[in-house]
Structures are given as structure tokens and as C-alpha cells.
Structure 1
């Protein structure tokens, strides 16, 4: 069952949601997430398509029994961790200060 909140708390949520700072926060989030998601999906889709329609390329041996497909597949993990690190760094610099300000405003108003 959902927790009920007081009308005053709800009003404060509404005020913050409509604020310019909240819109800046959402904009900063979208500025990172949308292009990163699109780029990663293209990167992943290229891997899938190459695996299906370019088996000779994917089967090309690089060193010993290690081929392009294996390296490309492992790079998917590297990319995922790289994106997570980049997001944490970006968030700490561009989003966390705004979120902290909004949280502080909310807590001050609710304590009244």
C-alpha cells in the first residue's frame, strides 16, 4: 500500500517539480543519458549485426584463438563500466549540487 503524504508535503513536491532548478536537473540528466544511450545502442547493435552478417570479420583471429568477436564482446563490458564511471563523474559535477539544493529546500519547507 502506498504511503500517504500530507497536503503540505505534496504541495512542496509540486512546487519543486515546477521549479527552474528541477528543470535544470532533468535537462542535465537528459543531456548525458540520451546521447550516451543512443551511442551505446548503436555500438551494441553493430556488434550484433556484425556477428550475424559478417562472420568472416568476426572470426578474424587477432592473437592465437582470440578473434574479433571475442574482443568486441569483451569491449561491451568495458564500455558499460566506462559509461557507469562517466555517469558517476558527470552526475557528481553537474547534477548532485542541484539535487542537494532541491533536497535542502524540500527539507526546510517540510520542517516548518
Structure 2
């Protein structure tokens, strides 16, 4: 026997607004995650297998240090970007809640 909450959930999952939400989240999260992993793992790979980051960037500071500090900036930047993008997701969620509440 299917209870009311389960049938409501199935209806919401099939709704165009919910599908739009999933599509927008995927369109943002997948490329962002790929970028993060590539950027993050580039430092240990480059420092372990090449000497390209050993060159001086600014005085005695090598490119390895610049890259390492850039990872902090990248992390904060992605957090701010996601926080901004989440507002769009929240707007769609509110629309879904309104549409779902009208049928009851």
C-alpha cells in the first residue's frame, strides 16, 4: 500500500520543475567538481613528477607555493559561487513547494 507522502514524492519527482532543478544542479555541480579535482590534484602530481613548479615566481617563492595558496582562493571562490548559485536552486524549490501544495 502506498501512503500519501510516497505518492506526493513520486508526483514531485516527475514534475517539470523538479526535473529542471535536477538539470540545473547537474549542469553546475558536475563541471565545478571536475574543475576542483583537476585543480586540487594538479599540485601533488606536478610537484611529484615534474620540476615545472620549482621555478622562482617572486624572489625566493616558487610557483609551487603560489599554486598551493591559489588552492585556498579557489576553494573560497567555489564556495562563494555555489552560495550564489544555490539561491537559484532555492527559488525553484520554493516554486515546487507551491505547486505541490496547490493540489491538496
Q: TM-score, normalised by structure 2?
A: 0.84
Q: What do residues 17-48 of structure 1 show as CA deviations (whole Å, max 9, x unaligned)? A: 11111110000000001111112222223222
Structure 1 residue aligned with 2:50 = 54
Kept after mapping to 2: 8 A contact 1:61/1:68? yes
Corresponding residue for residue 17 of structure 2? 21
The alignment partner of 1:28 has SS state of helix
Alignment of 1:88 with 2:75, yes or no, is: no
CA distance, structure 2, for counterparts of residue 72 and residue 32 of structure 1: 24
Task: Return 5+ residue gaps in structure 1 as ranges.
Answer: 1-5
What is the aligned-residue RMSD (CA, Å)? Answer: 2.1
Q: Distance between the aligned counterparts of 1:104 and 1:20, measured in 2?
A: 14
Kindly tell me: are residues 90 and 97 of structure 1, through their superposed partners in 2, closer, same or farther at Cα, counting changes over 3 Å?
A: same
Structure with more relative contact order (C-alpha pairs < 8 Å, separation 6 or more): 1
Secondary structure in structure 2 of the residue aligned to 1:58: helix
Structure 2 residue ranges without an equivalent (≥5): none
Q: How many correspondences in the alignment?
A: 103
Structure 2 equivalent of residue 3 of structure 1: none
Residue 91 of structure 2, aligned match among 69, 92, 97: 97
Q: In 1, Cα distance between the equivalents of 2:97 and 2:80?
A: 24
Matched, 1:33 2:11: no
